[in-house]
Amino acid sequence: MVTLKAARLIREAPVVAYPALAGAESFARAIAAGLIAPGAREIVIEVPMTQARGPAQAAYEEGAARIAEVLQRGQDVVCLCEGDPFFYGSFMYLHARLAGRFAVEVVPGVSSLTACAARAGQPLAARNERVTVLPGPLPEAELTRRIEGAETVAILKVGRHLPKLRSVIGRLGLMDRAVYVERATLGDERVCGLAEAPDAAPYFSMILVAKGADPWL
Amino acid sequence: MVTLKAARLIREAPVVAYPALAGAESFARAIAAGLIAPGAREIVIEVPMTQARGPAQAAYEEGAARIAEVLQRGQDVVCLCEGDPFFYGSFMYLHARLAGRFAVEVVPGVSSLTACAARAGQPLAARNERVTVLPGPLPEAELTRRIEGAETVAILKVGRHLPKLRSVIGRLGLMDRAVYVERATLGDERVCGLAEAPDAAPYFSMILVAKGADPWL
C-alpha cells in the first residue's frame, strides 16, 4: 500500500530513518525493505514501550537531533511511518521538532481507516454522512455517548479494550452492524463480526460500526 | 498518490471503468492516464450533475450492468476512483450492485482526509484523540453542535458552503485554528488560513480545525 511517490522517495534516499519498538524489528522498515537502496544509511529511533510519555518523547527528541545533523550537512532524510504520518502516526513527533527549522514534505499514505473499510467490504460514508474516529482506550461512558451520536464509527487501538468495546456496542444494539478487522492488508489479516472477535485483540485492529452509508440511495 | 498495488492492477487491466461527470473529462481517468494499457477497453460511466439522486443512481445501475457483462465473460475489470473508494468515493455505488454476485477486491487509497492534513502540515490526531469528519452541506445548527463536541474536525465538500462554515467556526472562536486546503496534492493546490479562503470554494476543498493533537507531548 506504498504510493508510487513514497516508493520513489525511499529508493532515492541517501538516509532513511524509522522508529522501532525497543528490542523488536521495525515494522515500518519491514514494509519498505525491498525499496531501501543497498548503500543507504539507516537511523533507527528506538522507542521504549512504557505507559508514561516521557521516555518515548525523549527518544523522538534524540532521533530528531540525529536527523537534524544529517539535514544540516545538506543531505535529505526519508522518514518511514506505518499508515499515514498524520493519522495517529509516529512521524508527527519528529515533524513537530523539525518542521520549523528544515523543509519537511509530508507524503500522505493509506490510513488504517480506509484500509480496514476496504478489507471489510464496508463503505465508510457517502454524500452527507459523518464519520467519527474514536480510540479504544477512551472511557466507557464517553465511548457510549459518542457512538450514540455518530453515524459511521471507526474504533482504533482496540487491543485489550475489546471486551469493553463489545459491551458498549452490544448495549447500544449495534452488534450486528459491527465488523472487527485485525492486521488489515497483512498476511495474517482477519475480518469477522464483532461477536466472533477474539477477546485479546492486537494493537493493529479496528472495529467499524456502520449506521449510515447506504450506497443504493 | 496511486499505490504500487493499484498501479500494477491498472497496468494489467484488460478493461478499465470510471465515472465522468456528464460532458466533462473524467478526473479519475486523468490521474491514471499514464498507467492504462494502450489496448485496454474503457467503460465510461457518465454521471449526470443533478441534485436529485435518481439520475445518478440510474447511471451507476447501467454502469454496473456493463461491468457485469464483462465479468460474466470471465474478464477482470479495474474500476478507477478518486481518493479512497469507500471514503465518499463513487465506487461504493458500483460495489453495492456487484459485490454480491462477483468477487470484488477493494484497494484502499489515499483519502482526501490525510492528503489535506499532509499538505497543510497539520497532524490530525495522536494518542487518544478523536477525529470527526463532517460534510459541509450539513445544516448550520448541526455543524455548530458537532464541531463544539469534537477534537480534530475535517469538513469535506466545502464548495459553496464556505461562508456558512466560516461563520460557524468564527462564532465558536476557532478561526485561528482552521486551515483551508483546496485541491490538495494537485498542481493548483492552495493552503491558507480559513480567514483568507475564497468565498467560492471548489468541490475539492476541505477545512481542518485542530483542537487537539499536540505532537510535543
List C-alpha distances in Å: B1 to A75, B26, B114: 24, 17, 11
Both B22 and B54 in one domain: the answer is: yes
- Residues B37-91 have pLDDT tens digits of 999 999 999 999 887 889 999 999 999 999 999 999 999 999 999 999 999 999 9
Cell of B156: 469535506
Query: Distance from B75 to chain A by nearest Cα, in Å?
Result: 21
Is B151 part of a structural domain of the chain?
A: yes
B93 contacts on A by Cβ (under 8 Å): 126, 215-216
- DSSP for chain B reads --BHHHHHHHHH-SEEEEEEETTS--HHHHHHGGGS-TT-EEEEEEE---SSSHHHHHHHHHHHHHHHHHHHTT--EEEP-SS-TTBS-THHHHHHHHTTTS---------HHHHHHHHHT---B-TT--EEEEETTS-HHHHHHHHHT-SEEEEE--GGGHHHHHHHHHHTT-GGGEEEEESTTSTT-EEEEGGGS-SS--SSEEEEE-SS--TT-
Contact with chain B for residue A31, Cβ under 8 A: no
Q: Provide the chain A residues 105-164 that lie in CB contact (below 8 A) with chain B.
A: 106-111, 113-115, 117-119, 121-135, 137-138, 146, 149, 157
Q: Provide the chain A residues 45-84 that lie in CB contact (below 8 A) with chain B.
A: 53, 57, 84
Both B9 and B66 in one domain: the answer is: yes
Contact with chain B for residue A96, Cβ under 8 A: yes
Q: Nearest chain A residue to B110 by CA: give it.
A: A110
Percent of chain A with pLDDT over 90: 85
Q: Under a CB-based contact definition with an 8 Å cutoff, are residues A87 and A107 in contact?
A: no
Query: Distance from B196 to chain A by nearest Cα, in Å?
Result: 22
The CATH number covering residue A130 comes to 3.30.950.10
Domain count, chain B: 2
Q: Nearest chain A residue to B126 by CA: give it.
A: A88
CA–CA distance, B217 with A38 (Å, rounded to integer)? 35
CA–CA distance, A94 with A59 (Å, rounded to integer)? 10
- What's the domain range around A139? 112-209
- Residues A47-57 have pLDDT tens digits of 998 878 899 99
Q: Cβ–Cβ of A122/B86 closer than 8 Å?
A: yes
Q: Cβ–Cβ of A95/B185 closer than 8 Å?
A: no
Is B170 part of a structural domain of the chain?
A: yes
Q: What pTM value is reported for the model?
A: 0.95
Both A73 and A124 in one domain: the answer is: no
Best probe of the A interface among B102, B133, B214, by most A CBs < 10 A, is: B133
A4 contacts on B by Cβ (under 8 Å): 1-4, 7
Q: Is A92 exposed, middle or buried (0-12, 13-18, 19+ CB in 10 A)?
A: buried
Q: Say how far residue B196 (Cα) sits from the centre of its chain.
A: 23
Of B97, B128, B132, the CB nearest to A132: B132
Both B119 and B204 in one domain: the answer is: yes
Cell of B142: 448541526
Both A88 and A66 in one domain: the answer is: yes
Final residue belonging to a domain, choices A64, A98, A132 = A98
Q: Cβ–Cβ of B121/A129 closer than 8 Å?
A: no
Contact with chain B for residue A95, Cβ under 8 A: yes
Both B167 and B198 in one domain: the answer is: yes
Best probe of the B interface among A86, A110, A116, by most B CBs < 10 A, is: A86
The CATH number covering residue A30 comes to 3.40.1010.10
Q: Is the pLDDT of residue B95 over 60?
A: yes
Is B140 part of a structural domain of the chain?
A: yes
Is A214 part of a structural domain of the chain?
A: no
Both A84 and A147 in one domain: the answer is: no
Confidence grade of residue A216 (pLDDT, cut at 50, 70, 90): low
Contact with chain B for residue A4, Cβ under 8 A: yes
- Residues A33-91 have pLDDT tens digits of 999 999 999 999 999 988 788 999 999 999 999 999 999 999 999 999 999 999 999 99
Both B199 and B124 in one domain: the answer is: yes
Final residue belonging to a domain, choices A67, A98, A129 = A98
Both A59 and A30 in one domain: the answer is: yes
Final residue belonging to a domain, choices B67, B98, B129 = B98
Both A16 and A60 in one domain: the answer is: yes
Q: Under a CB-based contact definition with an 8 Å cutoff, are residues A74 and A49 in contact?
A: no
- Residues A150-196 have pLDDT tens digits of 999 999 999 999 999 999 999 999 999 999 999 988 889 999 999 99
Best probe of the B interface among A5, A97, A98, A114, by most B CBs < 10 A, is: A114
Q: Provide the chain B residues 183-212 that lie in CB contact (below 8 A) with chain A.
A: 185
Q: Say how far residue A32 (Cα) sits from the centre of its chain.
A: 16
Is B122 part of a structural domain of the chain?
A: yes
Q: Cβ–Cβ of B87/A118 closer than 8 Å?
A: no
CA–CA distance, B31 with A87 (Å, rounded to integer)? 24
Is B10 part of a structural domain of the chain?
A: yes
Both A85 and A130 in one domain: the answer is: no
Is B103 part of a structural domain of the chain?
A: no
Could you tell me the strand order of the sheet in which B131-135 lies? A190-193, A178-182, A205-209, A152-156, A131-135, B131-135, B152-156, B205-209, B178-182, B190-193
List C-alpha distances in Å: B27 to A109, B84, B115: 20, 14, 17
User: Residue for cell digits 494502450?
Assistant: B38
Half-sphere exposure of B98 (CA within 13 A, CB side): 27
**What pLDDT was estimated at residue B186?**
87
Nearest alpha carbon to residue B60 among B89, B103, B100: B89
DSSP designation for A177 = G
Is B86 part of a structural domain of the chain?
A: yes
Both A198 and A160 in one domain: the answer is: yes
Q: Cβ–Cβ of B1/A2 closer than 8 Å?
A: no
Average pLDDT for B128-148: 96
Q: What are the backbone dihedrals phi and psi of residue A178, each rounded to the nearest 5 degrees, phi first? A: -105, 125
Cell of A42: 539507516
